[in-house]
Amino acid sequence: MSWEMIFTFAVLGISVILFVTDKLRLDLVAIGVMLALGLSGVLTPTETVSGFGTPVVILIAGLFIVGEGLSQTGISYAVGDKIVQVAGREEWKLIVLLMLAVASLASVMSVTGSGAIFIPVAIRLATRAGISPSKLLMPLAFAALIGGMLTLIGTPPNLVANAQLENAGMEPFGFFVFTPIGLIILVIAILWMVFFGRRVLRNEGGKQHSQERRSLSDLIKMYDIEDSIVRLEVLQGASLAGETVVSAKLRRKIGLTLFGIERKTEGRGKPGIISTHTDIPFQEGDILFGVMDEPITDQAFAENGMKVLPLDEAGHHISARELGMADLIVTPRSKLVGRTVSGAGFRTKHGLSVVGVIRKGKPIHGNFGHAVLEFGDQLLVVGEWDRIRKLRAFPEDFLVLAFPEEIQNYLPRRKLAPIAVGILVVMLVLIIFRIVPSVTAVILAAAAMVSTNCIAPNNVYNVIKWRSLVLIAGMIPMATALSKTGGLQLIVDQMLALNGANSPYLMLISFFLLTSVFSQFTSNTATAVLIAPVAFEVAKIMGVNPEPLLMSVAIAASTAFSTPVASPINTLVMGPGNYRFKDYAIIGVPLQIIALVISTFAIPYFLPF
């Protein structure tokens, strides 16, 4: 073994350990891999950064934009609302409908994105049926993962496997080549959850979310701030005029959190309401809306340049067309964990005010600004509707549990829904009939979404999950290094020695198990990037068709059922579903074995060796 091969294996081993232990962000590990291989001279500078120019990375970036276009035009939420309308109260029927809907959406959107959209829907469905959300959220997560098995663009591992064929100059996978196998696994998974999973899952957890889509008033009552909302006027000559919400420090001085300003503007007959942004100074005569931590006396208000106004009906239902609310939950790996509410930066980063906190189902009263946030805390935020809707772009920090029903009145791009659907259909036609390469079709669709305003142009780069792209682009050079140093051939030889060169079925099982096990603890995309080249080389040496082995790697990469850290969607449902680590193993391990058995027979049937 040359030193280059030894060094490459060392880098690979360290990266796998870091992936499994989660000591560093996955994208930072991938960047470290690039730097190690480049600085050591194992790879040339061009080879080191070659991953960023691969079609698979560009294609995935485009799919993020297309998926966001479907979301911003209301199509994704319309699917969820349709389930709410047609579903009865029978638990098994809700599981079937929800899993079918989530899997369908996940076949053309990202697994995490499609699953996150349906989490509030699942909570509403559980409420109507009088059951715990835990009965629906794990089936939802697994359906999203299986949805990635239904089409070529369903999940990055599919595209990684397909890239192996394209790079070798072979016929790439067809758009629906995954569909028969994915459908079989989906049907069996639905039956598994209906007849076994729902009976094993505990009938508890998530009860604090058990309501249908709430109104603004419902959210206010849930956080117990109904009697704490106050309407104020900035007095003439008050020192408060000219101050901003940050410089005034009213929360620190008197325990008042301001979230809205009613002000007349030129060209408008009626006063409008705006959020209390950090750069907007108060003016004399402004009407302010806020939430008191504790009762505040009229004298305390006067000393700070304000007087109390009656909170009439118009003031109580604060212009729902201009200001809205959202119910958030802090995720396990959120950067907010360990920070105080005041130090979380919601006002500076998101232009929103935190006006309520719930911990373990109970509202926190008093000065919650100093409360240190924990995983599972719920936050009530207030601000403009467009900023409220953008909260979905930060699933690593918090999950939007509920938008109030008034958001139905604020979908500025809802009229563009037919255009978004048309763009999606055209993209699928171009891919299915191979009129243009897949990456070209996706880029055209992404450009069309932006140019038709189905997605806000200034928000395009925010919707791309850059960490995922850096992870993929950073690990692709590892495959190059293994091939260049002879490490790939060594792995291939060992695989052949263990399984023999005359048993493609045994080799298919081996690759499935290897990929599936690694995908429970590390990124399934990174796993596919590393294992797909090995599968291709093994098939070439055995003299068999590489498609079955590549398909086994892609399908196995999506069987991330057994741990809450196997996939972001598993992590997202863990809190609202009140799941334990072993719940995933009890339900997921048998489902992985079922997927292995199905794949062992179905893959060679549809893609012969």
Read off the amino acid at residue 461.
Y
Is 11 in contact with 444 (CB distance < 8 Å)?
no
Confidence of residue 316 (pLDDT cuts 50, 70, 90): very low
Residue 191 scores a pLDDT above 70: yes
Beta strand residue intervals within 374-516, DSSP E: 378-384, 398-402
CA distances from 68 to 19, 186, 331, 374, 443 (A): 28, 25, 21, 29, 14
State which of 36-45, 342-351, 408-417, 483-492 shows the largest mean pLDDT.
Answer: 36-45
Of 231, 228, 236, the residue nearest 305 (C-alpha): 236
pTM of the entire structure?
Answer: 0.62
Give the pLDDT confidence of 288-303 residue by residue, as tens digits. Answer: 888 998 899 999 999 9
Confidence of residue 185 (pLDDT cuts 50, 70, 90): very high
The encoded tokens of residue 389 equal 């809707």
What pLDDT, on the 0 to 100 scale, is given for residue 209?
44
- DSSP line for 45-86: HHHHTGGGGSHHHHHHHHHHHHHHHHHHTTHHHHHHHHHHHH
What pLDDT, on the 0 to 100 scale, is given for residue 406?
57
For residue 96, give the H/E element and its range.
helix 91-106
Give the pLDDT confidence of 223-233 residue by residue, as tens digits. Answer: 888 888 888 99
Listing from the earlier edge strand, what are the strands of the sheet with 256-263?
Answer: 272-275, 256-263, 287-292, 229-234, 306-309
Residue 496 scores a pLDDT above 80: no
What pLDDT, on the 0 to 100 scale, is given for residue 194?
93
Confidence of residue 124 (pLDDT cuts 50, 70, 90): low
Give the pLDDT confidence of 422-456 residue by residue, as tens digits. Answer: 998 898 888 878 788 888 988 999 999 999 999 88
Confidence of residue 579 (pLDDT cuts 50, 70, 90): confident
**CATH among 3.20.20.70, 3.30.70.1450, 3.10.20.30, 3.40.50.261 for 214-403:** 3.30.70.1450
3-class DSSP string for 16-29: HHHHHHCCCCHHHH
Higher pLDDT, 607 or 458: 607
What pLDDT, on the 0 to 100 scale, is given for residue 270?
57
- Sign of the torsion angle spanned by Cα atoms 521, 523, 528, 533: negative
Q: CA torsion 506→507→508→511, rounded to 10°? A: 130
| Residues of the chain above pLDDT 70, percent | 87
What pLDDT, on the 0 to 100 scale, is given for residue 207?
44
Higher pLDDT, 173 or 131: 173
Bridge partners of residue 290, in order along the sequence? 230, 258
Crossing angle of helices 581-606/134-147, nearest 10°?
A: 30
Residue 55 scores a pLDDT above 90: no
What is the Cα–Cα distance from 467 to 519, expressed in whole angstroms?
Answer: 17
Residue 454 is given by DSSP the state S
What pLDDT, on the 0 to 100 scale, is given for residue 134?
87
Higher pLDDT, 387 or 182: 182
What is the Cα–Cα distance from 532 to 167, expressed in whole angstroms?
Answer: 12
What pLDDT, on the 0 to 100 scale, is given for residue 193?
94
What pLDDT, on the 0 to 100 scale, is given for residue 385?
80
Of 547, 548, 604, 607, the residue nearest 168 (C-alpha): 547
Read off the pLDDT of each residue in 578-585 and give the average, rounded to a whole number: 82
- Sign of the torsion angle spanned by Cα atoms 126, 127, 132, 138: positive
CA atoms within 13 A on the CB side of 52: 12
* Domain range summary for the chain, segments of one domain joined by +: 214-403
What is the Cα–Cα distance from 258 to 251, expressed in whole angstroms?
Answer: 8
What pLDDT, on the 0 to 100 scale, is given for residue 588?
92
Bridge partners of residue 229, in order along the sequence? 291
Rg (CA), the chain: 26
What is the Cα–Cα distance from 33 to 264, expressed in whole angstroms?
Answer: 56
Is 522 in contact with 557 (CB distance < 8 Å)?
no
Give the pLDDT confidence of 194-236 residue by residue, as tens digits. Answer: 999 888 886 654 444 444 456 677 788 888 888 888 889 999 9
Give the pLDDT confidence of 58-110 residue by residue, as tens digits. Answer: 877 887 888 778 777 877 666 666 766 676 677 888 899 899 989 988 887 77
Residue 179 scores a pLDDT above 50: yes
Residue 350 burial (CB count, 10 A): 18
Residue 143 scores a pLDDT above 80: yes
- Residue with the two structure tokens 């996939």: 567
The encoded tokens of residue 157 equal 């591992």
Of 608, 558, 609, the residue nearest 588 (C-alpha): 558
Is 477 in contact with 42 (CB distance < 8 Å)?
no
Q: Please state, rounded to an integer, the average pLDDT across all residues of the chain.
A: 83
Residue 366 is given by DSSP the state S
- Residue with the two structure tokens 């027979």: 601
What pLDDT, on the 0 to 100 scale, is given for residue 322?
66
What pLDDT, on the 0 to 100 scale, is given for residue 318?
47
| Residues of the chain above pLDDT 90, percent | 27
